[in-house]
Amino acid sequence: MAEVKDKTEVQNKKMVVDEERCKGCGLCVNVCPVEIIENAEDRINQNGYHPAEIKPENQDKCTSCTQCYQICPDVCITVYKE
């Protein structure tokens, strides 16, 4: 279930996508103010969609603004606080 949690629960990631629930709609990609979300080109989930992701090298650029979490229609994004 997507929700905002304390970042101490996960290492090196501020935003995490439940990839099997993602439908690749791209709303989170478009809303992110620092433009670090993309749809993974190299894999598809069980429903045939390219899931949203942030590449490891871009995780630190996330400001935990939660806009991606708020816009996702399928509630599959979790944002961790700083």
- Pairwise CA distance, residues 48 & 52, whole Å: 13
Tell me which DSSP letter residue 67 carries: H
Query: Of 5-13, 30-38, 40-48, which part binds ligand SF4 (CB under 6 A)?
Result: 30-38
2 and 67 Cβ atoms separated by less than 8 Å:
no
10 binds ligand SF4, rule: CB under 6 A? no
Binding mask 37-76 for ligand SF4 (x = CB under 6 A): x--------------x-x-------xxxxxxx--xx-x-x
Of 1, 7, 11, 24, the one binding ligand SF4 (CB under 6 A) is: 24
Residue positions counted in the chain: 82
